[in-house]
Amino acid sequence: MENDYNVSNEGNQYSTQMDPNKSVMTMGDWIVTLLITLIPCVNIVMMLVWAFGNGNENRKNFCRANLIVQIILSVLGFILYFTLFASLMAAGYSNF
């Protein structure tokens, strides 16, 4: 009967320790993240690295959401641009 109470927890160590990838990001981490996203060209590369790499889940979700929004806005921008361009060409403004 004593063995029932002395069950070792060696196989379950992972669940008792906090996963660093799921920890809350500090304000400093967010400031660094936002500053890096302000640098042209570097921001796209770092967004892809953070979105699809092994890192903090908060940053990963932020980068994935940001990439999705950027793709949607880019598609809408191209549609608007080409719609405006086509309407100007149809109206006879061929000086473009």
Q: Which two tokens stand for residue 95?
A: 């000086």
> How many Cα atoms within 13 Å fall on the side-chain side of residue 18?
5
Q: Which amino acid is at 45?
A: V
Instruction: Give the whole-angstrom CA distance, residue 36 versus residue 55.
Output: 16
Assign 89 a pLDDT band (cuts: 50, 70, 90): confident
| pLDDT tens-place string over residues 4-17 | 555 555 555 555 47
Please choose, from the candidates 51, 45, 49, the residue with its C-alpha nearest in 3D space to the C-alpha of residue 65: 51
| pLDDT tens-place string over residues 57-88 | 999 999 999 999 999 999 999 999 999 998 98
Domain ranges of the chain: 13-90
Instruction: Give the whole-angstrom CA distance, residue 62 versus residue 69.
Output: 11
Q: What is the pTM of this model?
A: 0.70
